[in-house]
Amino acid sequence: MTLPSLLIQLLNGLTDASSLFLVSAGLSLIFGVTRIVNFAHGSLYMLGLYMAYSLIQLLGRTPLSFWAGVILAAIAVGVVGVVIEMLVLRRIYRAPELFQLLATFAIVLIVKDTTLYIWGSEDLVGPRAPGLTMAFDILGKRLPAYDLLLIVVGPVVLGLVWLLLTHTRWGALVRAATQDREMVGALGVDQAKLFTSVFFVGAALAGLGGALQIPREPANLDLDLSVIADAFVVTVVGGLGSLPGALLAAILIGVAKSLCIGIGTTSILGFEIDFSRLVLVVEFVIMGVVLVLRPYGLLGKPPAVVRAAGSAPPPLTPPRWPTALAWIALLVIAPMISDDYIAALLIDIACFALFAVSLHFIMGPAGMISFGHAAYFGLGAYAGAVLLKRAGLPMEVSFLLAPFIAAAFAVLYGWFCVRLSGVYLAMLTLAFAQITWSIVFQWDSLTSGSNGMVGIWPAAWLSTKSAYYYMTMVCCGLGIAFLWRVLFSPFGFTLRAGRDSPLRAEAIGIDVRGFQWMAFVLAGAMAGLAGVTLAFSKGSISPSAASISQSTDGLVMVLLGGVETLTGPVVGAGLFTWLRDGLARETDYWRAVFGLIILLIVVLFPQGLVGGLKVLLGRWRESRA
């Protein structure tokens, strides 16, 4: 790369950094005050683009109307944010940690289908910014004026938000709430209003970020999810709640991507390396490295002590034999009285149930949130497939070895992850998952790349649907029973001690990290078992098994059922799989309906479905007593 090219690529990187920063700023602000992991932030960004497109079309193509359109779109998205906060999130601030994520997941689904309904499926290419369509010559290369403008916008917005935070009463309240929101409440500040206003600003920033992209990016329906991961990465790399950190992280990631593209294919030590192929993973590599070296991001501080909004989660109650036996009996006779499809659906549900239970195992009792649990699910599935097809091992052997391979990766990844806590830990698991995914996605000779592997069918004695069904039930049932049994062993109690009071646990000689690491490995192995069981039932496996959306599905299942109950994840997995399968058949807009159902559950049962039913049952019993 020549010097002028390098300079231009740096400028390109800064343009992207500015865009990344704008989306992340709002996310960081909202998280700082409300502790909500706002999964719908990408949807707000997408809405910003669509609204700007329509507004600019309405207002005409003059510079004034262009900028008016951008600002109005940002405000409109801010209003959408307010509506979301007032209608949904306000009702569940007291729910267990992360439960709000479930609500925002539902909002993603609803916004996506609403957008499709209003704007249609075709990509909408917006106008270029009037008055800024020229390009400047820099060292013989041309750079569009609008891109140069964007480079400035990021720092300017940072400055404005900084002024707002440091020189206004509202800003002082936001900073106070970020540090200690209970105290702010105790001092008589109306938290509801404060949260709503923060949501307005955060959402408007996301909308602005989207609207400003209108000359560079067509409005399309995939933007929400493609942006959200970037925004999380930037926020976390920068340090949660730190806006300068977010800008720094955005610059780091934007420039790194541009350089990967700029370098292109180069030979290093005789190897041809195509750096452009690294673009899809480079931000996660950066996140991994940053989090391992600086556990709270570049400019983040250790989080303020959160006073638990109440006591520690209640102890779990083990399942009762009569109920368990009734379910087992039902599952045994199910394939005899129904068709193959029910068996197929139940196989899916059982695999996802084991997946969700293994996630719950580390999330609930061990207190480690994972955003990247699909890594082990995918690794298990791929391990089975690769051993069968590439190593030529018998199906049974491949199947049995697969969970151990997933566990081996969990040993490696877990060692780094357990050193962190909270959202940072969650994001490090995501980093490892994405790195795994990108390797699976691109290693053609081993994994067949993006196409995935086919022909992964079970051995002859398992080839009928009912045989494989029983085998799935045995494997997943034993897996679930094993994890549950562990939770009620001294090991499980130790995990809980480490979660509820890490200081005291360490003081009495418990190696909290060591136990967490072991729990991580156990959960990884069981997720791997779930993955390989599913792979052999489908006959094929593709990288989506290790993708972000698979991880998210797992989280949603656990939260849907209730993180504070034992059977919640199983019920969540069943309901999730069954609903998604059934709804897609009934209506074209199944995602919106699915989202609405989840929202309804969220609002009615803030403890998750099983938790909610338990509360209801308890109340009913009290009223009878």
Partner 1 sequence: MLTRNRLLASVSALLALSFVAPAMAQEPIKLGEINSYKVFAAFLDPYKKGMELAVEETNAAGGVLGRKIEVVSRDDNGNPADAVRAAEELLSREKVAFLIGTFPSNVGLAVADFAKQKKTLFIAGEPLTDKIVWDQGNAYTFRLRPSTYMQTAMLIPDAAKLHKKRWAIVYPNYEYGQSATAAFKKLLKEKQPDVEFVAEQATPLGKIDAGAVVQALADAKPDAIFSSLFGPDLAKFVRAGSERGVFKNMTVFDLLGGEPEYLDPLKDEAPAGWYVTGYPWQDLKTAEHTKFFNAYKAKFHDYPRLGSIVGYSTVMSAVAAIKKAGSLDQEKLVAAMANLSVATPFGPVTFRAVDHQSTMGAFVGRIGVQDGKGVMTDWRFVDGKDALPSDADVRKMRPAN
What residues does 138 pair with on adjacent strands? Answer: 141
Residues from 537 through 566 that contact partner 1 (CB under 8 A):
538-545
- Name the residue type at position 152: V
Label residue 508 exposed, middle or buried (CB < 10 Å: 0-12, 13-18, 19+).
exposed
**Pick from 182, 190, 340, 511: which binds partner 1 (CB under 8 A)?**
340
Token output for 502: 């890490």
Token output for 467: 């045989």
Q: Is 485 within 8 Å of 323 (Cβ atoms)?
A: no
Query: Among candidates 350, 510, 527, 500, which has minimal Cα distance to 429?
Result: 527
Residue 307 is classified by DSSP as: P
User: What is the smallest separation between the CB atom of 368 and partner 1, expressed in angstroms?
Assistant: 27
**Pick from 149, 176, 344, 510: which binds partner 1 (CB under 8 A)?**
344
Q: How far is CA 530 from CA 83, 227, 374, 467, 609, in A?
A: 39, 29, 10, 17, 23
Q: Is 592 in the site for partner 1 (CB under 8 A)?
A: no
Ramachandran assignment for 562, one of left (phi > 0), alpha (psi -120 to 50 degrees), beta (any other): left
Which C-beta is closer to partner 1: that of 13 or that of 380?
Answer: 13
**Contact flags string 386-425 toward partner 1, x per CB under 8 A:** ----------------------------------------
Residues from 11 through 70 that contact partner 1 (CB under 8 A):
12-13, 15-16
Residues from 453 through 512 that contact partner 1 (CB under 8 A):
454-455, 457
Residues from 184 through 243 that contact partner 1 (CB under 8 A):
215-218, 220-222, 226
Residues from 120 through 149 that contact partner 1 (CB under 8 A):
120-125, 128, 133, 135, 141-144, 147
**Pick from 43, 100, 104, 258: which binds partner 1 (CB under 8 A)?**
258
**Pick from 35, 41, 181, 257: which binds partner 1 (CB under 8 A)?**
257
Which C-beta is closer to partner 1: that of 176 or that of 279?
Answer: 279
Spatial distance between the Cα atoms of 511 and 85, rounded to a whole number of angstroms: 41
Spatial distance between the Cα atoms of 385 and 538, rounded to a whole number of angstroms: 11
Q: Is 514 in the site for partner 1 (CB under 8 A)?
A: no
**Number of residues in contact with partner 1 under rule CB under 8 A:** 89
Residue 458 is classified by DSSP as: P
Q: Is 411 within 8 Å of 571 (Cβ atoms)?
A: no
Residues from 286 through 325 that contact partner 1 (CB under 8 A):
320, 322-323
Q: Is the dihedral of CA 299, 301, 302, 303 positive or negative?
A: negative
Q: What is the 3-state secondary structure (H, E, C) of 486-551?
A: HHCCHHHHHHHHHHHCHHHHHHCCCCHHHHHHHHHHHHHHHHHHHHHHHHHHHEEECHHHHCHHHH
Q: Is 277 in the site for partner 1 (CB under 8 A)?
A: yes
User: What is the smallest separation between the CB atom of 226 and partner 1, expressed in angstroms?
Assistant: 6
Q: Is 155 in the site for partner 1 (CB under 8 A)?
A: no
**Contact flags string 66-105 toward partner 1, x per CB under 8 A:** ----------------------------------------
Query: For residue 101, how many other CB atoms are within 10 A of its CB?
Result: 20
User: What is the smallest separation between the CB atom of 158 and partner 1, expressed in angstroms?
Assistant: 22
Query: Among candidates 206, 225, 224, 234, which has minimal Cα distance to 52?
Result: 206
User: What is the smallest separation between the CB atom of 126 and partner 1, expressed in angstroms?
Assistant: 10
Q: Is 274 in the site for partner 1 (CB under 8 A)?
A: yes
Q: How many helices (H) and strands (E) does the chain have?
A: 25, 6
Residues from 605 through 624 that contact partner 1 (CB under 8 A):
617, 620-621
Which C-beta is closer to partner 1: that of 5 or that of 501?
Answer: 5
**Pick from 62, 168, 338, 466: which binds partner 1 (CB under 8 A)?**
338
**Pick from 580, 600, 603, 619: which binds partner 1 (CB under 8 A)?**
580
**Pick from 67, 170, 327, 470: which binds partner 1 (CB under 8 A)?**
327
Which C-beta is closer to partner 1: that of 195 or that of 590?
Answer: 590
Token output for 211: 């609207």
User: What is the smallest separation between the CB atom of 464 and partner 1, expressed in angstroms?
Assistant: 12
User: What is the smallest separation between the CB atom of 342 and partner 1, expressed in angstroms?
Assistant: 5
User: What is the smallest separation between the CB atom of 441 and partner 1, expressed in angstroms?
Assistant: 7
